[in-house]
Amino acid sequence: MLDWWLPENVSTYGQEIDWLFHLIYYITGVTFILVFGTMLAFIVMYRDRPGRKARYTHGNTTLEIVWTVVPALILVILTLLSVPAWSKIKMTMPETDFAVQVTAKQFNWQVTYPGPDGKFGTADDKTLLDEMHVPVNKIVRVHLRSQDVIHSFFVPQFRMKQDAVPGREIRQWFEATKPGKYELPCAELCGFGHSGMRGWIYVHTADEYAKWAAENLTAAAAPAAEATPAAKNEAPGKAEPKKEGKAKK
């Protein structure tokens, strides 16, 4: 197999993508060898030699039909073979309680987690820059948007690539099967700083993610929840001097 020259697959649907990739590679590889071999044979067979005159040939209609029909059939077969994988990855959205919102902009990835209310666009959201943290073996739903131009959300190890288009929210999903740190580059030329637009996806074990979330997501909302009691404790202290002042008068 050709797995050695591809990035490591850590996605549940990566094997289906790799199988199609290898099939297409073998077909094009065999075609290249046949065409190149035929060309070399013709170069030798029909080379210029003393006393040999060139002659005109009209061609072979049967041969022309064959090399037109055969590639067309190959493309049809490849399309039929790719339908199951395409439907699974692009046309369905598995149920999950884990969702993140990714907003692409020149030249960063903004990753937003919903707060305790489970909704995006509210005050308790938590936004990170150029980094995403997810648990392993967990279906992650990505709500992908663009703030300015077309970008492309690409994680080679996940076998996932999806354009982010201005004015649209596109949903994509993945399920990572191995903890690690994976690069998230932009795969669409998006401006002068395109080459530097990259982030990182950190895939944690369940325990490690729970610890990270407690320190970075739920902990961030704690001060806001405690603000009202603190204010109540502080208010009487400020009122004390006023009462004492009145007593002196």
Q: Determine whether 144 is exposed, middle or buried from the number of CB atoms within 10 Å of its CB (0-12, 13-18, 19+).
A: buried
> Alpha helices, DSSP H only, in 87-218?
206-213
How far apart are the C-alpha atoms of 54 and 45, rounded to whole Å? 12
Which tokens is 217 given?
């997501």
Model pLDDT for residues 17-64, shown as the tens digit of each residue: 999 999 999 999 999 999 999 999 999 988 888 888 877 878 888 989
Supply the pTM of this predicted model. Answer: 0.78
Give the pLDDT score at 224.
40
Range 151-178 average pLDDT:
96
Model pLDDT for residues 95-153, shown as the tens digit of each residue: 999 999 999 999 999 999 998 888 898 888 999 999 999 999 999 999 999 999 999 99
Domains assigned to the chain: 7-47+58-91 (1.10.287.90), 99-224 (2.60.40.420)
How far apart are the C-alpha atoms of 89 and 87, rounded to whole Å? 6
Apex 209 CA angle, 203 and 212, nearest 5: 115
Instruction: Assess whether pLDDT exceeds 60 at residue 12.
Output: yes
Instruction: Assess whether pLDDT exceeds 60 at residue 232.
Output: no
